[in-house]
Amino acid sequence: MLNYIKSLYKFIRRLSGDDLYDLYLMSHKQCSKKHKLMTKKEFYQATLDKKWSGIKRCC
Amino acid sequence: MKQQINFGIKFGYIMIKKYFKNIVWILVALLGALAFSTVALSRHESINAVWFITAAVCVFMIAYRFYASWIAAKVLVIDEFKKTPAVMLRNDKDFIPTNKWIVFGHHFAAIAGPGPLVGPTLAAQFGYLPGMLWILIGAVLGGAVQDMTALFFSMRRNGKSLGQMAKDEIGVIGGTASLIGTFLIMVILIAVLGLVVVNAMKHSPWATSTVAATIPIAIFIGIYLRSIRTGRVLEASLIGFGLLLLAVFAGGLIDHSQMLRIYFDHDSLTLAWAIIFYGFAAAVLPVWLLLAPRDYLSTFVKLGTVIILAVAIVILQPEIKMPALTQFTNGSGPIFGGSVFPFVFITIACGSISGFHSLIASGTTPKLLDNEKYIPMVGYGAMLLESFVAIMALIAATVLEPGVFFAINSPAGIVGADALGAIQKINAWGFKVTVEEMELLAKNMGETSLFARTGGAPSLAVGMANIFGKAFGSNLLAMWYHFAIMFEAIFILTTLDAGTRVGRFMLQDMIGNIYPKFGQTSWMPSIILSSAIVVSCWGYFLYIGVIDPNGGVNILWPLFGIANQMLAAIALSIGTAILIKSNKVKYAWVTGLPLLWLMIVTTTAAFQKIFSQDVRVGFIAAARDLTDKINIGLIEDNKISVTHQLIFNQKLDAFITLLLLIILWIVVIDMLRISFFKKK
């Protein structure tokens, strides 16, 4: 039951984008050390700029 | 011997499983057929909403299991071993392999806007049956197919957008048409949604203060997410949701305070100017401050409310009061003029087939899916879920007494501004309702009046409040009503913010081709000028909609429907062209048939909107009628200037409709020419 709640929480975090920075840190550790690591704030801003540069919401 | 027995058991198990599956699907089909025929053939006084839900669930299950699977296997030939753009071009910025459920959630949140709530509510003037049938059949054979094929073709082209695919597959004409179509659709959509919000707020201090409070709440959440607890979306959304509930409650206090309520009691025109100013500010301000936090909140509220509504409908099992068909199928409806064919197919776009979806299906989604085998689930499945939302909106609108529904949705220009006169007219149509009933309803909902609250949002909110009230406690009807208004307004305003910003980018891009400096999206003069142009475009239609005594929705919603269906026709043309060019002519009907249907309904509707002699349908006839009224002195002197504006607008609308029609036919003819040429 506890595992079920944990995985549900993990799913909701992923769906809402709550864990995006954690994912970025993991990804940065694994494959792109040549790029400068963005701070949380820089990453958040970059994510928003990317997200809202095109048609993201429909009628 | 033992091995033989084991084999026998296994074989028996497989056979039972196989037959059990078949039996389950046969039962689903039978139950669906029973529910569908009950909904379609019932002519009793009322029918239970559970039949609607059962029919929809069974139809969607069968369509998903058989039709979507067949399209995936035979028509598109989906290959689960083929690397998707997310895997092949992975950069963890645009191309990110993502869990299928996360992609499904993001895709659904992106496609499901206010359209499936408003369209079915307006179309309920024909009775529940035309809307119900079109939502189910349109989604299964048209909308979901369009979304799924657009997603597949974009994925097979490294995540190209609809505009790029139109240019590649049909040519420059197709690309330009999709660009103009997208811009027009954006302008008309924002105007009509703005009008819906204005009509929900006019002379309602409670609704206005609640909707106004969403702005500082969004700004606070924006600051919280950027500077206090950076990127903690979940907790910020929860805090924001709590504040929104508080705003609904505080709105009630403001409404009861004689001192405070006057600051929020405004007419339509003042509110329209406020929305126009807000739209400009939202387009110019940084994304993190207003748009992004508002989107987090609206997504949270949207998903939560839709789930609660579904649960409430299942618990409550309300009776549908609206008849299957009303006399307004002949075109004399008070909400909008025009007969059931073609206008039900234009009025309900989102929820059945919406061209706008193809922009999302060829936007972010194809860059996230990590396996082609999930295309039916995301492309087809998310559209079915949106259709289900449309069915729930239809239920919420039709559980109201028809007399109440028409009293709320009929504009003063049709039934008159006087309550008694309006009631007499609605009674003469054969729908029972009294002035006392409407007064009691308004009092219960915390409003001074619910007459002529056009646009669909107030009647949907009354329907939702009734359902929520009966399921979770009827002593809070006014709170539920204003919660429902806030729920609708919050994501209408998100669409307004996001749409204005996209319009700004499109304009900057277009003008940037002539004057490159203007194309720099962060150059402030370009931001201000392009935002002002976009806001002026939709602001003009919003202004005209507000001053129109027929309510504005009568003109704007069909125009939006025609524009949206035109974009769907472009998306389906691309799909048909690709199928023909890749030697799959025998399957071209999969996209070709919905395309043909859209051509028929859009052309008929556009033709009628331009040339019909009925002044409530035809733009030119309406302009001529107003001119005649001025000439013979039927218009009061102080209204002549406004009438001239309305005449100009009718002519402009006729021109825009004609433009959409020409674009549609050019794209389809060009698609056929290019497909035929390439094939040879």
Tell me: pLDDT of B127 over 60.
Answer: yes
Tell me: pLDDT of B410 over 90.
Answer: yes
What is the C-alpha to C-alpha distance for residues B25 and B97, in angstroms, rounded to an integer? 33
Give A-chain residues touching B300 at CB under 8 angstroms. 16
**Contact present, B57 and B387 (Cβ < 8 Å):** no
Q: Residue B178 has what pLDDT?
A: 82
pLDDT band at B323 (very low <50, low <70, confident <90, very high): very high
Q: Residue B227 has what pLDDT?
A: 93
DSSP B635: S
Under an 8 A CB cutoff, do B111 and A58 touch? yes
Residue B440: Cβ within 10 Å count: 11
**Contact present, B247 and B490 (Cβ < 8 Å):** no
Under an 8 A CB cutoff, do A52 and B182 touch? no
Distance from CA of B288 to the nearest CA of A (A): 7
Quickly list H helices, B348-473. 356-361, 375, 382-398, 402-409, 412-415, 419-428, 435-444, 457-472
Write the residue in A44, A50, A58 that is nearest to B231 by C-beta. Answer: A44
**Which tokens is B18 given?**
């196989």
Residue A38 touches chain B, beta carbons under 8 Å: no
List the one residue out of B475, B487, B452, B486 whose CA is nearest residue B251.
Answer: B486
What is the C-alpha to C-alpha distance for residues B445 and B457, in angstroms, rounded to an integer? 14
DSSP B519: G
Tell me: pLDDT of B448 over 70.
Answer: yes
What is the C-alpha to C-alpha distance for residues B391 and B397, in angstroms, rounded to an integer? 10
Over range B138-147, report the average pLDDT: 97
Helix axes B100-111, B291-316, angle to 10 degrees: 90
First to last CA, chain B: 63
Q: Residue B513 has what pLDDT?
A: 84
Chain B residue with Cα closest to A26: B92
**Which tokens is B95 given?**
């191309």
Tell me: pLDDT of B680 over 60.
Answer: no
Residue B670: Cβ within 10 Å count: 19
Under an 8 A CB cutoff, do B360 and A24 touch? no
Write the residue in A12, A50, A57 that is nearest to B113 by C-beta. Answer: A57
Tell me: pLDDT of B677 over 80.
Answer: no
Under an 8 A CB cutoff, do B494 and A57 touch? yes
Per-residue pLDDT tens over the stretch B64-117: 999 999 999 999 999 999 999 999 998 877 898 999 999 999 999 899 888 999
**Contact present, B168 and B376 (Cβ < 8 Å):** no
Under an 8 A CB cutoff, do B360 and A16 touch? no
Per-residue pLDDT tens over the stretch B182-204: 888 889 989 999 999 999 999 99
Quote the mean pLDDT of chain B. Answer: 92
Q: Residue B474 has what pLDDT?
A: 72
Helix axes B553-581, B589-611, angle to 10 degrees: 150
Per-residue pLDDT tens over the stretch B508-530: 888 888 888 888 888 899 999 99
Under an 8 A CB cutoff, do A45 and B226 touch? yes
Over range B587-596, report the average pLDDT: 97
What is the C-alpha to C-alpha distance for residues B323 and B570, in angstroms, rounded to an integer? 36
Tell me: pLDDT of B403 over 60.
Answer: yes
Half-sphere exposure of A44 (CA within 13 A, CB side): 23
> Percent of chain B at pLDDT above 90?
74
Grouping H, G, I as helix, E, B as strand and the rest as coil, residue B98 is strand
CA B376-B380-B382 angle, to 5 degrees, is: 115
Q: Residue A32 has what pLDDT?
A: 60
Q: Cα B102 from chain centroid?
A: 22
pLDDT band at B544 (very low <50, low <70, confident <90, very high): very high
Tell me: pLDDT of B149 over 90.
Answer: yes
- CATH class for the domain made up of B20-203+266-679: mainly alpha
Give B-chain residues touching A20 at CB under 8 angstroms. 231
Residue-wise over B171-209: b if at least 16 C-beta within 10 A, else e?
Answer: bebbbbbbbbbbbbbbbbbbbbbbbbbbbbbbbbbbbbb
Residue A34 touches chain B, beta carbons under 8 Å: no
What is the C-alpha to C-alpha distance for residues A27 and B510, in angstroms, rounded to an integer? 36
> From first to last of its 59 residues, what are the pLDDT tens digits of chain A?
889 999 999 999 988 889 999 988 888 887 766 678 899 999 999 989 888 887 888 88
Grouping H, G, I as helix, E, B as strand and the rest as coil, residue B44 is coil
pLDDT band at B1 (very low <50, low <70, confident <90, very high): low
Write the residue in A18, A52, A59 that is nearest to B501 by C-beta. Answer: A52
Write the residue in A31, A32, A52 that is nearest to B292 by C-beta. Answer: A52
What is the C-alpha to C-alpha distance for residues B226 and B406, in angstroms, rounded to an integer? 46
Q: Residue B190 has what pLDDT?
A: 93
What is the C-alpha to C-alpha distance for residues B151 and B214, in angstroms, rounded to an integer? 34
Write the residue in B92, B102, B292 that is nearest to A48 by C-beta. Answer: B292
Per-residue pLDDT tens over the stretch B200-223: 999 999 999 999 999 999 999 999
Under an 8 A CB cutoff, do B354 and A52 touch? no
Distance from CA of B464 to the nearest CA of A (A): 20
Under an 8 A CB cutoff, do B363 and A56 touch? yes
Per-residue pLDDT tens over the stretch B384-399: 999 999 999 999 999 9
Q: Residue B678 has what pLDDT?
A: 59
Give A-chain residues touching B94 at CB under 8 angstroms. 50
Per-residue pLDDT tens over the stretch B244-258: 999 999 999 999 999
Distance from CA of A2 to the nearest CA of B (A): 20
Please state the ipTM of this predicted complex. Answer: 0.93
Helix axes B291-316, B205-223, angle to 10 degrees: 130
Phi, psi of B657 (to 5 degrees): -60, -45
Q: Residue B509 has what pLDDT?
A: 85
| Residues 3-32 of chain A whose Cβ lies under 8 A from any Cβ of chain B | 11-18, 20-21, 24, 27, 31-32
- Reduced DSSP (H G I as helix, E B as strand, rest coil) percent helix, strand, coil of chain B, to 5: 80, 0, 20
**Contact present, B191 and B541 (Cβ < 8 Å):** yes
pLDDT band at B552 (very low <50, low <70, confident <90, very high): confident
What is the C-alpha to C-alpha distance for residues B246 and B210, in angstroms, rounded to an integer? 9
Return the higher-pLDDT residue of B677 and B364.
Answer: B364
